[in-house]
Amino acid sequence: MAQDGVREGFEKIVAAGGDGTLNEVLNGVVGSDVALGILPTGTMNVSAAELGIPSGDPARAWEVVERGFSREIDLPRANGQFFIQLAGAGLDAEVVRRTPVELKKSLGPLGYVLTLAQVLAGPPPKISAKPCDGPERQGCFVLIGNGRMYGGPFRLFKDACLDDGRLDVLVFKNQSHWDIVRYFQAILAGAHLKLPDIEYFQTESLRVEGPEGVAVELDGESAGELPCEF
C-alpha cells in the first residue's frame, strides 16, 4: 500500500500503528521523496518516543503530521531490509518470534515477559559480533540501536544519535534468569554499561553470526535468522 501511495504521487504517507507497522511502511517509501508520518497506536511505539512524537494522544501526534514538522535520519539496513530504531539477534528476537499476535494485543508488553520466561528455560546460543573497525565480540545476545531507546522508555544506547552515521551495539555475554534480572536492574538505574559482562561500542557496519536458527528482529518484528549484515 505504501508503494502504491508513492506511485500515485502522495507527498505524505502516515503509518498508524506500532514500530512493526512503521517498519513496513518505511520499507515501502524508502528511496522516494515521500515524507513518512507517525501515528503511534501500537504496543511499544519506541520510534515515536525517540523522535518526540506523543503516544497516547492521537490528536497531538496528528498535529505533527499536519504542521509538517520533519527530520532527516539515518536508515540502517539488515540484510537489505531497512529499520528505523533498533534490531536484535538472539534473546529479544526469539521472544518476538515466539510471542503470538493475540497475546500482544490482549496483554501488551506483559505478553513479551511471559514469552521471555519460556525462552530463558533453554540454552543460550553463542553469538559473535564482528564490527568493520574493531575486534570481534562474543556473547549470548546482541542489541543494535540507531537511536537511544529500546523497549519503550529505556535508554540503552547512551551515545546514539539518529543522524550520526553509526550503529550502537550492546553485546550481552550471559543469559540466565539471574543475569536478565541483573541486567534489567542495571538498565533501570542507568548503570548497565558499568557491568563487566556487557560490551558497548559504535561502528558503521557489523556482521553478526551464530548457530543455525538464531532469530533476528527489526523494530520489534521478526526478520529472519543469522547471519546478518548490518
Q: Which positions are catalytic? A: 221
Asked if 175 and 116 touch (Cβ cutoff 8 Å), the reply is: no
**Which strands sit side by side in the sheet containing 127-131, from one edge to the other?**
137-139, 127-131, 206-209, 228-229
User: For residue 12, what is its C-alpha cell?
Assistant: 505524505
Best CA proximity match to 15, nearest among 5, 155, 109, 7: 5
For the range 187-192, what are the long-range contacts, defined as Cβ-Cβ under 8 Å and sequence gap of 24 or more?
A: 187/154, 187/156, 188/154, 190/155, 192/156
Distance between CA atoms of 179 and 183, rounded to whole angstroms? 6
